[in-house]
A and B are shown apart, each in its own frame.
Chain A
Amino acid sequence: MKGLSLFLGCLVPNRYPGIELATKLCLAKLDIDCTDLPGASCCPAPGVFRSFDRTTWLTLASRNIVLSEQMERDMLTICNGCFSTLADANHSIKEDDSAKEKVNEHLEKIGKEVKGNIDVRHIIEFLYEEYGPEKIASYVERQLDIRVAVHYGCHLIKPTKDRGLGNFERPTFFDELVTALGATSVEYPDKMACCGAGGGVRSSMKDRSLKMTEAKLSRIKEAEVDCIVNSCPFCHMQLDEGQSDIKEQMEIEYEIPVLHYTQLLGLALGFPAEMLGIDTDIEKNKKFMNLLDAGMES
């Protein structure tokens, strides 16, 4: 297996740097060979850019892939959107010679060439496939005695024909990685439903996207969980900031902490909340951390 390069994308470094740090801390603690990927850009985001112009989308994605190819490393993503773009683009490069040729005509202008000789991974499927829940569990320093609503997000697993991670109706791999940390993954209705943000809907029709988010949050709330765990900063933003927007616009209050898996894993590996970007100045996060601490003492 090749080493990895960490593809950051936009939202993680520019809005949720805590997830960046959490990822780096977890990878180091788990002894995973992963380096920075200097000079990468937006993946570019599948919702808007792929919708706009496939050639532009594929060309910019290929430039990011080239950077990792030059390092002879597979790419690691921590965002479902980046995964969707980069895995799909990489697939096109590998399978479709004419697409590859067309892209390389553009890349030639900056002295680059995409070869199609690396893989694109998402941290959830990577940890599951290469480490597995048992090995992850062996690293846990702090058992998390909490109830978790796992949110897979759409593009981690769909389209299933391209992802190859099995059926999308009732997957378990992400849940298994959560239970490996001592937590309970709680079943809830519409668990596989979309957060509402994708496809450029959040940016151009926020009210409508929030209705989908509210529907999802109400199901989660009924399941009485201590937090939501996701694998994508875009879902993360929608489910977290979305709670404030919903409070303002619909006067419905959800006080559910939202964590990216790397943050939850970071807690289980013994890192303090502030190193993982979990802001304990926010009341719901403070309560969540108190709950964890109480679990430790008992």
Chain B
Amino acid sequence: MTGIEHLQQTFAALRERQEKALVTYVTAGDPDLTTTARLMQTMAQSGADIIELGVPFSDPSADGPVIQRASTRALANGTGLAEILHLVSAARPGLSTPVVLMSYYNPVLQYGLTRFCQEAAAAGVAGVIIPDLPVEEAGALLAAAIPRGIAVIPLVAPTSTTQRLAKIVAVAQGFIYCVTVTGITGTSQSVTEEIAGLSRQLRELTELPLVAGFGIATPDQAARVAQYTDGVVVGSALVRLVEQQGENSLQAVDQLTRELKNVLVGKNW
């Protein structure tokens, strides 16, 4: 099964069960890769449907302070793409949850786009999200990813014009990442205002699942946003727990993941 198929299967199963997808994000290597591996297992067991692993970058200009600090900690540990791919590969046998990587473009570019897609596919990575790679610049990555079944998951923003949305959905695979706010990652007060209009526009353009992220921290926010989408991403709220409790954050992460997933099931969406 390719990565794209793995994501398709995941969303098909969720639809059948009338559930919304919970995507949980942690930065790989924060506080260390062993803990990241344990966090992946924990999140999968507690209800995460897709696990998003952040590849640390020195200059994460689309991220807020929480993920920025996590990146700094992970880099101080020497975490790089090779180790992260190895981590996914090692986790794969016992983990049926798809894993997607979130990376800034330069680490992937320097690794080599072909080499990266080859090794990611071999490791069982389902897709990749690159916040600083708009559709106009994504040609080379798409060319390396498509033949290997790796989904290049695009981001769309509340500021995207209809014309841009059409251009983006035309090359999208896996799912579409809807940025909930005009802003950076982190917690935010008013996450539902923009997503309502954005999802309405997108539904007319594509059948692909829509997943909303940036600023969603609590079960209440997740439930409100999920009215408009097929899933939500929660990042900074989990990363903050890892920041506070390090290796001992498993229990807190387990609890928040369960609370989040709880509001995404058993509703008449």
Q: Do A and B come from one complex?
A: no
Q: Which residues of B are at the interface with A, using a C-beta cutoff of 8 A?
A: none
Q: Which residues of A are at the interface with B, using a C-beta cutoff of 8 A?
A: none
